[in-house]
A and B are shown apart, each in its own frame.
Chain A
């Protein structure tokens, strides 16, 4: 039985960002390794140039469903989109066109729709993959478990497989040419009805311009060593010159110094940025679980025995109150 890969690409405000490029690149890589075809599916109202930009990463056939056309099936008040209606769209397209492998980014949106898409398409699913290998023409997916304290390799017992790629792990790879073409898919061919709009997103509220820890490529994180909420301006200043998001340990979130959305760790967010600077954070096992796969870890702590130094790539033993302002100044000099 030959393979056929479908890459579903997510957009935000009708623009594609890294998660989409990562999915296209990895789908091309898998298709080349398996010697099979791959196509892209997008559900949005992106313009033609934006859709064609996926071709830079190897996409050829880009199947496009208009989100506006999909949404018009729902009779009712204004809304932004419906997760289950999009799941139905993906499921129908996958089933009707002979695909057996589905790749979706493991963003919050991707992970909200993927489990139901997996059931609709009879796919065995591996969420949050950090690596995909091929052995004997079969897929092996690697997934962190126990908050990243260990890794598992998973094989699939069904022909149909759905893989969610952890964001910021797989490299977007630009190709030398762009041979992409768009095929518009009429939503009326996909058997979608009012009953598919089981939930609707009425509104999206954006947090005040702050870069979210889950999306950031650089993070400056603070812990109890900052001694109080009033000192987190040191973290924010450094984050600002680095274009980084601010993170926090559980201790300072529970103490009410920082918001929960900043929390990095086993009961907060798992992040994998290019640069993670941990300031005044001792490195409890639960915090490490949330950031240990960061590509470069820097630790600043006055305790030379702090566990964070065990996993740091670089660090300074010393007082955050002296080091952070000095570091901020030194980095300002670079630009």
Chain B
């Protein structure tokens, strides 16, 4: 089985966001970058598919040179080879990412393509379905359970208040949601093995953004709240405030 997993590099979840001088992007100083958390589920699913079916896992990424770190983390978890489509700029939108990943996936011609459901920087939830549309490959996102049997795909998708059972043929694009598996921790052996795995570098085939960020700002700050300090005795006053002042009861 030929399996592609698409990975991205993002600021870790403890990052306190500061706006850069340009007023349009974050200030990256002091920020720790990691493999996108949702991509860990995608890599784990990819490696499990390889372990079950044989084959190879190719980790691909679109981004600047530092995105190689995301591919290396995928190597540590068991991906075999990597491709970085190297952007010369940090200013690219989801459409550019999707066009470039789609082009690379088309050249590889895999059976399964895995993504994390969204990257936690942009939170777009766009790429898996965009790539599916560009390549005319079925795509299912927010997947919490994946079953592939005799060329048939059965996926459970998380929706509000429940799940959808979705079927498709192969090749298929799957966007992974937390809960689909438990991503493995790399051990010393897999970390050592990862050091010799190759990452091919390619040029982008498409660079025209269709959207532009004109401003980034912090959310409006809140005025100080009314915090009562008499424990259970404060309950009647709280309820009065919620009813009469906040009008939420």
Contacts and interface: CB of A to CB of B under 8 A. Distances in A.
B179 A260 contact: yes
Interface in B207-243: 208-219, 222, 225-232, 234-236, 238-239, 241-243
A271 to B, nearest CB: 11
Interface stretch (B45-53, B60-68, B117-125, B192-200): B117-125
Given A127-B126, A146-B11, A150-B216, A334 B249 contact: yes
B246 interface: yes
Nearest to B134: A119
A125 interface: yes
Given A296-B246, A327-B239, A199 B139 contact: yes
B164 interface: yes
Given A127-B126, A260-B179, A215 B161 contact: yes
B133 A120 contact: yes
Contact of A204 (B13, B164, B208, B212): B164
B88 interface: no
B219 A151 contact: yes
A203 B179 CA distance: 20
B118 to A, nearest CB: 9
B33 interface: no
Interface stretch (B14-22, B74-82, B104-112): B14-22
Contacts of A322: 231-232
Nearest to A325: B232
A157 B235 contact: no
A244 to B, nearest CB: 11
The bracket for how many chain A residues form the interface is: 35 or more
B100 interface: no
Contact of A153 (B94, B215, B234): B215
B98 to A, nearest CB: 8
A96 interface: no
Contacts of B218: 149-151
B186 interface: no
Interface in A291-311: 292-293, 295-299, 304, 309, 311
A80 B167 CA distance: 11
B166 interface: yes
A309 B227 contact: yes
Q: Which 5 A-B residue pairs are closest in the complex by CB-CB distance?
A: A318-B231, A115-B129, A116-B133, A124-B210, A198-B138
13 contacts: A125-B95, A145-B121, A152-B213, A154-B211, A199-B138, A202-B154, A202-B166, A267-B37, A275-B242, A296-B248, A309-B227, A311-B225, A327-B239
Given A211-B161, A318-B231, 15 more contacts: A107-B160, A112-B129, A114-B129, A115-B129, A146-B26, A150-B19, A150-B26, A151-B217, A199-B166, A199-B168, A202-B166, A266-B120, A315-B226, A318-B230, A318-B234
